[in-house]
């Protein structure tokens, strides 16, 4: 079966990419985006780094300070003061500010969208780079413009030695296994844990599409915290029918078995797990941006009848889960609501389509619960009126 995403992987195709490379090994795809033109100019990226609400960093390396990190927002004169070489500007979540950058995410819909972290874009002067490092993320590095030499190295773990630096996680050792110069439209996939190092050959831009994966630590801590809030103080360890202990100071096997049994029963609540997971994975990266549009909007029906459609707030993450019994949960921005299973096609539209034209939605508004759901999402600022 071929899909619209196959072209991204040249001769390899999506199925083979997923089976052989995803989470396993790096892959260079020459001209994944043929005739690629960057959806953002360096000046616009620099402009974003001056803004309060945008997360940005400058990484500089010079003889005196081998690696220096500065955090934005930066003063207006920053770029006139920087040297000609050896620095990189990195701007996070550019997809939330530039719709043409967000459009790139549509090309990655062969992967779960709730795994997406953001699109980070870097601009590097010649010689610039952030140093050899590894991530716990999967990342697609798309060359936006100019040329960058990428080297890939060894598989790393938390035990891999790092340079002694307060802010940057730069590997002390780099065992180069392959290297390529990427040109606009070329894309390099790097799985988690693989050392990589990009150095600008010319001034250049790199577009990083990052896919996060929750750590087991994060899952255990946050899921058990969520579960704990569902329990009442009356639900406790019980040992009715206990036999008299041989040694009252000993915690015996039976006590641990009882405890283990109740812990296993609690954590095996699949509905609670899915509900927590959906909420957790849709928590906004920048909650203040996600909440910026909450309030009393114009009545939905008036807007739709005037031909005004809706669009997803770019700062809001959306996902849904349907249980085996058909019950449906929609997750948005770390919250959830249970909706009737007849609304599945609407929920799918909301989660998959950034733009929802009025004609499409008007077909749904004859159903009261569909209208209520849309109104609620608009009121919370998760869906916005498209002007």
Cα separation, 89 vs 211, whole angstroms:
21
Is-contact 333 316, C-beta < 8 A? Answer: yes
Identify which of residues 92 and 275 has a Cβ nearer to ligand AKG in the complex: 92
Identify which of residues 152 and 315 has a Cβ nearer to ligand AKG in the complex: 152
Task: Please state the closest distance from residue 161 (CB atom) to ligand AKG, in A.
Answer: 19
- How large is the angle between the packed helices 216-230 and 253-267, nearest 10 degrees? 90
Give residues with Cβ within 8 angstroms of 3, minimum separation 6.
Answer: 14, 110
Give the full edge-to-edge strand order of the sheet including 178-182: 178-182, 148-155, 194-200
Identify which of residues 196 and 279 has a Cβ nearer to ligand AKG in the complex: 196
Span of 40-48, 103-111, 135-143, 297-305 interacting with ligand AKG by CB under 6 A: 135-143
Bridge-partner residues for 180, per DSSP? 150
Task: Please state the closest distance from residue 90 (CB atom) to ligand AKG, in A.
Answer: 6
Task: Please state the closest distance from residue 21 (CB atom) to ligand AKG, in A.
Answer: 16
Q: Which residues of 339-360 are buried (b: 16+ CB within 10 A; e: fewer)?
A: beeebeebbeebbeebebebee
Quick one: which of 91, 94, 130, 281 contacts ligand AKG (CB under 6 A)? 130
Task: Please state the closest distance from residue 345 (CB atom) to ligand AKG, in A.
Answer: 36
Strands 68-71 and 87-91: unpaired
Reading phi first (left if > 0) and then psi (alpha if -120 to 50, else beta), residue 5 is in alpha
Asked if 38 interacts with ligand AKG (CB under 6 A), we say: no
Binding track over 78-97 against ligand AKG, x by CB under 6 A: ----------x---------
Q: Which residues of 220-234 are buried (b: 16+ CB within 10 A; e: fewer)?
A: eebbeebeeeeeeee
Is-contact 338 329, C-beta < 8 A? Answer: yes
Task: Please state the closest distance from residue 140 (CB atom) to ligand AKG, in A.
Answer: 9
Question: What number of chain residues touch ligand AKG (CB under 6 A)?
Answer: 13
Binding track over 103-122 against ligand AKG, x by CB under 6 A: -----------------x-x
Give the full edge-to-edge strand order of the sheet including 328-332: 318-322, 328-332, 335-339
Query: Residue length, the chain?
Result: 387
Task: Please state the closest distance from residue 153 (CB atom) to ligand AKG, in A.
Answer: 12
Token pair of 183, please? 């040109």
Subset of residues 152 to 211 that bind ligand AKG, contact rule: CB under 6 A: 196, 198, 206, 208
Quick one: which of 55, 86, 117, 135 contacts ligand AKG (CB under 6 A)? 135
Span of 101-109, 128-136, 313-321, 337-345 interacting with ligand AKG by CB under 6 A: 128-136
Identify which of residues 40 and 124 has a Cβ nearer to ligand AKG in the complex: 124
Task: Please state the closest distance from residue 162 (CB atom) to ligand AKG, in A.
Answer: 15
Nearest to ligand AKG by Cβ — which residue?
Answer: 122
Residues that bind ligand AKG (CB under 6 A): 88, 120, 122, 124, 129-130, 135, 139, 141, 196, 198, 206, 208
């Amino acid at each position: 079966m071929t899909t619209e995403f196959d072209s991204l992987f040249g001769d390899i195709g999506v199925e083979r990419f997923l089976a052989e490379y995803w989470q396993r090994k790096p892959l260079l795809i020459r001209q994944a985006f043929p005739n690629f033109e960057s959806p953002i100019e360096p000046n616009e990226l620099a402009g974003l780094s001056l803004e309060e609400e945008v997360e940005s960093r400058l990484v500089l390396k010079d003889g005196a300070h081998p690696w220096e990190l500065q955090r934005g927002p930066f003063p207006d004169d920053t770029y006139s003061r920087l040297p000609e070489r050896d620095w990189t500007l990195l701007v996070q979540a550019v997809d939330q500010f530039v719709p043409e950058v967000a459009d790139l995410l549509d090309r990655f819909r062969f992967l779960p969208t709730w795994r997406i972290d953001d699109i980070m874009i870097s601009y590097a002067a010649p010689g610039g780079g952030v140093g050899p490092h590894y991530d716990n993320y999967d990342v697609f590095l798309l060359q936006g413009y100019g040329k960058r030499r990428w080297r890939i190295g060894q598989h790393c773990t938390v035990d891999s030695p790092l340079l002694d630096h307060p802010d940057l996680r730069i590997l002390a050792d780099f065992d180069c296994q392959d290297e390529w110069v990427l040109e606009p439209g070329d894309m390099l996939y790097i799985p988690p844990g693989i050392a990589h190092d990009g150095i600008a050959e010319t001034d250049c831009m790199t577009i990083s599409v990052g896919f996060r994966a929750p750590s087991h630590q994060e899952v255990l801590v946050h899921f058990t915290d969520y579960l704990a809030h569902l329990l009442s103080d009356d639900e406790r360890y019980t040992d009715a029918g206990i036999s008299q202990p041989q040694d009252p100071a000993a915690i015996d096997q039976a006590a641990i078995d009882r405890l283990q049994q109740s812990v296993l029963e609690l954590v095996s609540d699949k509905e609670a797990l899915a509900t927590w997971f959906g909420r957790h994975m849709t928590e906004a990266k920048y909650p203040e941006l996600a909440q910026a549009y909450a309030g009393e909007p114009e009545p939905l029906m008036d807007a739709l009848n005037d031909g005004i459609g809706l669009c997803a707030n770019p700062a809001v993450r959306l996902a849904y889960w349907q249980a085996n019994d058909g019950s449906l949960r929609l997750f948005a921005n770390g919250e959830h609501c249970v909706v009737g299973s007849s609304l599945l096609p609407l929920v799918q539209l909301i989660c998959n389509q950034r733009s929802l034209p009025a004609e499409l939605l008007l077909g749904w508004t004859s159903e009261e619960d569909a209208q209520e759901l849309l109104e609620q999402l608009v009121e919370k600022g998760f869906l916005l009126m498209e002007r």
